[in-house]
Chains A and B, each alone.
Chain A
Amino acid sequence: MILGLFGLFLGIAGWHAGTLWESLAHTVQKLSGASVLYTLRDLDFLVSTLFVLGMLVAMGLYSGISCRQIQKTRSLAQLPEGQWSIVKRQFLKNRLAVVGALIILALYLVAFLCPFLAPYDPVEQGDRVQERLLLPSAEHLLGTDRFARDVFSRIVYGSRISLLVGFLAMGLAVTLGTAVGAVAGYYGGWVDSVIMRFVDMMLSFPSLILIITVIALWRNQSIWIIITLIGLMSWMGVARLVRGQFMALKEREFFQAAKALGAGTGRLIFRHLLPNSLTPIIVSATLRVGNTILLEASLSYLGLGVQPPTPSWGNIVYDTKGNLFTEWWMPLAAGMAIVVTVVGYNLLGDGLRDALDPRLRE
């Protein structure tokens, strides 16, 4: 697997050796000259170049370390199996989960390597007369849209938006939800009542409509605002989960024992309660990434999300909806990308839940 990836990166590096070099030279030149402005495309190439080179270095280091590790374990006596290797084994047993993990891994690779994978600039418009609404061909894998942009390139670049939104919005939601849930669960009593009633109130808002309203009021549709809003609207489930976990863990004897040893609030929360709640938090985070991606796609489809010409899967469907019956493959491809991503995350989440839960092991 590692070797395969290594090969893949070497392949990409070799294939684009010229481009890689050009991009680096370009950057150095611009850094020294600084008279020419960066274009977004330059930045993309730079990021991807650094990513490929970084991955190559990391993999070299990793294979060195793992070789040494294998030698070490061979020389040592048979050690009992650690927690994580059990989890890994359980996870690998579950085929669907592995498929999900591979999908997500592939998506992240695509997102990082966009400029090398996409044959065209996603925002560049071709000849509006001759290259508009072309059929799929070897040149344009999925044809072109009504602005003569290559749809395949747009979908490849769209993965960035979806993964970015999914990851960051979920990160925000999980952080916020964990903090709120931890306070409610640890202190209990009236603190808990007040916080949980607030959570109930937040949950009773229809989130899509609330986000639409806020965006409409703000008159600003930057991707960061959308991420923040989606994050702010999806932390409640995590808060409830963490609160429940804390409440249950507080009754466990090891918590009492830690208190009897004189551990303070910080130690109790960060060493005893939080690490023991991590499993459900990870699982729910993974399962909810799918939801945030869908939410972003819905917003973009409604024209309130990521603004054209920046491609996102949602606004590709929106852009192509006028040609739904003639160029049906365009919205279909973007829709499929959304579905595959969400399914991938859900499979990964389910697999993680099963692998991390000791009760489900045979």
Chain B
Amino acid sequence: MKRILIVDDAATVRLFHRAILESAGYAVDEAVNGIEALEKALQSTFDLYLVDVNMPKLDGYGFLRELRGSELPQAPAIMISTEAGARDEQLAYAAGANAYLVKPTRPERLLLLVRMLIGEVPA
């Protein structure tokens, strides 16, 4: 089973994303900020990261920069933001994101991106 780490400080958002991803057959773990996400990434392997931008202690950009600059096994990352601005999307890609989603999440859009990035492209 493919494993996804949800990194978001809002509990409701984590629950929502967990419900979507679990019902699509993924295993899910959670972290409330970038540092906890790094701790989890050090302790187990994930196939994808779903990362919020604004979080305490270490934000989403900071987490992705650390992850990409580390010797940890790499996996694709989707950055999720409340901002639709081009600037933020650029920052996300510069930090190492592979896709950018604007909140509130549409389940079908999220699953489409997840499947594509994990490599489960429909035939």
Chain A complexes with chain B? no
Which residues of A are interface residues toward B (Cβ below 8 A)?
Answer: none
Which residues of B are interface residues toward A (Cβ below 8 A)?
Answer: none
